């Protein structure tokens, strides 16, 4: 019975690592429509880095997604 528990624990570890790698790939490649990009640009000119305010105007987008999009696209390295 202890062997069964070890197997169950090990299988749950595998699934969590798959989930986290899927989340990482989704976060690293945010895709925005042309309308969303235009709205982000306009809102940024009006309110600056107030990401939650900008995200409130784009259904389904979080402030973190907006900020990641902006920094990946418009900051110089």
Per-residue model confidence (pLDDT) at position 68: 95
Rounded to 10 degrees, the C-alpha dihedral 49/77/61/20 comes to: -130
Per-residue model confidence (pLDDT) at position 29: 59
* pLDDT mean across residues, the chain: 75
Q: Give pTM, 2 decimals.
A: 0.60
Per-residue model confidence (pLDDT) at position 74: 83
Q: How far is CA 16 from CA 12, 29, 63, in A?
A: 6, 20, 25
User: Which tokens belong to 20?
Assistant: 């986290």
34-75 CATH pick, 1.10.10.60, 1.20.1250.20, 3.40.50.2000, 3.10.20.90: 1.10.10.60
Q: Which residues of the chain have pLDDT under 50?
A: 4-28
CB-side neighbour CA atoms (13 Å) of 68: 13
């Amino acid at each position: 019975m202890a062997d069964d528990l070890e197997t169950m624990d090990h299988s749950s570890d595998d699934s969590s690592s798959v989930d986290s790698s899927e989340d990482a790939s989704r976060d690293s490649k945010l895709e925005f429509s042309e309308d969303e990009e235009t709205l982000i640009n306009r809102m940024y000119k009006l309110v600056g880095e107030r990401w939650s305010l900008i995200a409130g105007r784009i259904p389904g987008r979080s402030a973190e997604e907006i900020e990641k999009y902006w920094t990946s696209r418009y900051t110089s390295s």
